Amino acid sequence: MSLTMYQASIPSFLRMLDNLSAILDKAATHAEVKKIAPSIYVNGRLTPNMFPLSRQVQIATDMVKGCAARLAGIEVPSYEDNEVTFSELQARITKTKAFLESVSAAQIDGSEDRQVKVKFGSRELSFLGQAYLFDFVIPNFHFHLTTTYAILRHHGVEIGKKDYTGNY
């Protein structure tokens, strides 16, 4: 049996968003226990010229909601990108998960050859559905998840590989 586009995307996206949510919960608890302002983590970066944790989470959620919508041939939901607290980031994750769960396998399956266009400012990228999922979305999604994880580890939050990968 072959793997469908839906099977290769939505279940994994949902699982990793759950793991991201759990990591953010651990960070919020760590901040409270250590009496550290949560904004230190939410605004944290690994280096001055990179996006802060809040933007990493925003981009990760944008990647998967955009993917689901584009592969399904429906409008991509627009979020304001104004989250500045752990609870606001958690709400964004919850909203993203709800959207992903609203997209059916029937809408996504068969999208391997669907033309997908993605705009970044004045630049537009064009893909076929399968390449968009495997070559663009999945690597970018995991990059921003990993960067979020690394920022929190850098700031002393006690998380490990199992927090990133989740329980099996």
Query: pLDDT at residue 90 above 70?
Result: yes
* Confidence band of 75 (pLDDT split at 50, 70, 90): very high
- Cα separation of 67 and 125, whole Å? 13
Give the distance, in angstroms, between the CA of residue 21 and the centroid of all CA atoms in the same chain. Answer: 10
The CATH T-level fold of domain 10-104+115-165 is Four Helix Bundle (Hemerythrin (Met), subunit A) (1.20.120)
- Cα separation of 25 and 86, whole Å? 8
* Confidence band of 118 (pLDDT split at 50, 70, 90): very high
Q: What would the 3-class secondary structure string for 63-76 be? A: HHHHHHHHHHCCCC
- Cα separation of 71 and 6, whole Å? 9
DSSP state of 137: I
Residue 1: predicted pLDDT = 61
Cβ pair 129, 114 in contact under 8 A:
yes
Report the mean per-residue pLDDT for the chain: 96
- For the whole model, what pTM was predicted? 0.96
For the segment 101-111, the average pLDDT, to the nearest whole number, is: 98
